Each structure stands twice: as C-alpha cells, then as structure tokens.
Amino acid sequence: MNDFSRRGLLKTTAVAGAGAVVVPAVAAAEAPGASAVTEATVSGGHGAQCRPAKLTGRIVRPDDPGYTDARLGWDQLFSHYPLVIVFAQNTQDVVNALTWARQNDVALRVRSGRHSLEGWSNVDNGLVIDISELKSVHIDASARVATVGAGLNQLEAVTTLAKRNFAVTTGTEGSVGLAGATLGGGFGFLTRWLGMACDSLIGAEIVVAEGGECAKVIKVDLHHHADLLWALRGAGNGNFGIVTSLTYKLAPLKSVTYLTATWDGIGDLRRVFQAYQRTMPFTDNRLGTQLEVHPHQILLFAVLPEGTPAEAKKLLAPLLSIDSPKVKTQVGNWGDVYAGFQTPITLEPANWKFSSQFAKKPFPTKAIDVIASFIRKAPTDDSNYFVQAFGGTVRKSPRGGTAFPHRDALFYAEPGAGWGKRSDRPGVCDPLTPQAQAWIAEFSQALRPYVDGAYVNVPNIGMQEWETAYWGSNFGRLRRIKADYDPRNVFQYDQSIPPASC
C-alpha cells in the first residue's frame, strides 16, 4: 500500500521501451467486476439469510505447496499464517469468500499488492481475500475513461494506459497495488498536474457486508452511493468493503521528460532543501519532483509531462545551480520511462520501516539540520529521507469531494529504513531490526514540531490521535458512512475506521 520511491533509489537512467508490461488476462471489453453478480442476486435483502457459502477461486491452504509464497508480503518484517487465502478470479469469488467468513466467524483481511506497511492485509488463522488476479482493463478512448481490475499494480496500470497515450496519477513504485494506493489518496510524479490518484476515481464496484451473514455488490459513482465514493477517495483500503474494480477519468499523455540530478555527499543539503521547498510546490503545475536524502548523496527526480529537457532544466534551475550536480535527461513514452526506473523486488532489502509526515510550512534551518544529523547515523545505506512536492492541482478538490484532507500541504515527507536479505524464512529476527526501528521512531519524533498530519497509506503505528492525523475533520463523516455500509464492523484492523455508535 505504499506508493512511491521511498524504499530505495530510483534508477538514475531509464531505458526507452524497457519493461513494457502486457497485463495477464486483460480482456478488451470486460472489466473484472463485470459478472452475473448484482445487488439483487447476491442476497434476499437486508437481514436476509444466505445459503451456506463455499469458497471459490484459486484457494491456497497451509498444506499446499505454494502456501509460503502465497502468504508472504513485500515487507518481510511481518510474517502471518492465514487459515486460507482466496485469490479471487471474479467478483463472485469475493462475494463467496466474504459470506463464508461471516458464516464461519473467521477473521478476514483484504489484500491487493501486498504492500501493507504494517502487515495489516494479512492475518493469523483467518481468511485473506486477495484480489491481485483481477486484472481486466476496458478503455473508452473517446470518453477518456478506463475501468480496471482492482488487482492491477501500478506498473501494469501505467504501462497499459500509456500504450494508448493516457495516464492517471500513481505512485512511483510499480509493484504497489493500484487499488490500495488510490483508495488512500495516491500521489507521485503526476500529482501536481493531475491531482491525487483518488481525484481521478469516478466509480468503483465494491463487495460489502449485508445483514448478519451475507454479502452484496454495489456500484458506486457520483449518482449512486455518492457518499461511499467520497469515502473511497482517501479513506484507505479495506475499511468499507472489498473493491473489485475502479473507474478513472483519464488524461491524454504522449511523452514526458525525465530528469535526475545527483549531489555527492550531503554537504549541500541545507541549500538544496531550502531551494526545493521554496520553489517546487509553486512551480509549473506540470512538474512533479521528489527529493531523496541518502547517507552518501542527495538525489532529485523530476517528470515534466509534454515538456522538453530545456524546459525541465529551466524550471529546476534554482536547484541545479547549486554546486555541480550530475544531471541526466530522457524523453519518452511515460510507460517506458516509468518501467525503466523500477527496481526488482528481489534486489530490495527484506525489511522496511517508515513514518509519514506532511509539512504545511517550510522547514527552518534547524529542521533541515535534524535531517542531516539522522541521515549521517542511518542504520543502512538503504535508509533515506524522502520528500514529494505538493501544490498545483492537489489544491483543487474534484467534483464530489474526497476524504483526503492534506491538500494544503507544501510537501509530503518520510524517513524510511530498509535492511536484511530476502529469503523464504521471513520473520527471523534480524540483529539490525531494533536499531532500524529506533532510528525511525527517534527521527520522526525529532521532526514532530515541524509537521502536521500523516498518510493513511504509510501508517504510523503507535501514533496518538492517528484518526485526525490521517483524516482531519473528515473522520466523523467517515465514521457515519462506515455505520451505513458496515455497521457490524466486519472490515477492521488495527487502525481501521470504526462505525459511528449513534
């Protein structure tokens, strides 16, 4: 559910045409939610009894050969052992799984891209409903609308749409699930130009709990269940039901300029950071940027839709004029560029920890020095401090509004640490784990005086008043919507939205 490049370096060069993805099982005219299931046929109405449900789809149990691979998430810091994992092949499989869990009083979790950063998309001795194999795509080019399966990851979505010269906002890390990223807000290189990922969401199909033990499918858009659409635009995945397809308004996009700049060491951090926060949230809305501070270098990444290298360099001049960074540029199809800067999961560390923050005011010099101090004593070279500029179209809420509250932020920021090697034996205690976790906790606490709010897709475990940190004044409305669609709190996890009690 984390949705941008905080976990490691973006590749500083991208190979045109490399990594283009053909989405498996993509149907040209049928979205994954398109099935015989309708609200009228799933159950007999509110409070009705259901027939005994049977699990359908691709089912994996503990004694099956593929169980270890099926249960593992991206972050191997967490290791859970579910009773059964259902890889849904269509919406009916999701309905059956939800009904079965309710009839058998089994705890359940919803999973898509396996990037839940506190392991909350998995559960011991319960049912995991995995929708990652719902990958159909339907694009209406004339209407500039796409309906896609909730199982697409961001790489599949970006490259598939780019082949038709379209785009929506996504995060920069391709293996993150599109649904999870979007439903928590979603931001990346196109955010200042197109707004949040959730801003382009104009419809969804979602399986919700019905009565005491049933499930039903509802279609959500601006004219049907508009309150739930508002909630899905920023509340986070798995709070109200199981989203099986998403409908987006598309933006035309033929090419981008991709620029990277590298400063050796962090001696220029004060000047670079001050220039970044002073200019990047206020520049041309097309320009999307992120700044990464690593133990041995500072990295700037920028994407300019429908722009040239000369334009990008001119817009970035306040930063590029500091010292003499190494600068590289590339022009190409957005899908090719995006695929080119991905890092294979097998090359990433096994364990990760993050803390999310939003800044509404520029950091004073004292705060920038805090960053430098902690980066110098980072537990590993894979540790970094990541900044994404906001402003631009982010400040405009779409028709119907969204539950995402942080539109007035100057930038999003996040300390992160990665450590350990990937293996088929996750959960084994790594000697670096206490050090890395303590570093993140102390780092984020040291910056608390300068930040305001947190990001639901990057949850801060142990945070006091996390409800208002994620959703601000929207939390009360989210609780009321939860009471309407999930009054029995079927969909719950450590920091899920509880239903209003009255």
Question: For residues 312 and 337, is the Cβ–Cβ distance under 8 A?
Answer: no
Pairing outcome for strands 58-60 and 137-140 = unpaired
HSE value, Cβ hemisphere, 13 Å, CA-based, for 332? 20
Specify the residue for token string 């950091």.
Answer: 363
DSSP state of 347: G
* Rounded distance between C-alpha atoms, residue 178 and residue 171, angstroms: 9
Convert the pLDDT of each residue in 165-190 to its tens digit.
Answer: 999 999 999 999 999 999 999 999 99
Under-70 pLDDT residues of the chain = 1-48, 424-428, 502
Specify the residue for token string 């996750």.
Answer: 426
Angle between helical axes of 269-279 and 365-376 (0-180°, round to 10): 130
Give Cα 27 distance to the centre of its chain: 24
* Rounded distance between C-alpha atoms, residue 210 and residue 45, angstroms: 8
185: its two tokens: 């807000």
* Rounded distance between C-alpha atoms, residue 495 and residue 461, angstroms: 8
For residue 502, the model assigns a pLDDT of: 62
For residue 156, the model assigns a pLDDT of: 98
For residue 423, the model assigns a pLDDT of: 76
* Rounded distance between C-alpha atoms, residue 18 and residue 13, angstroms: 11
- Residues for the chain: how many in total? 502
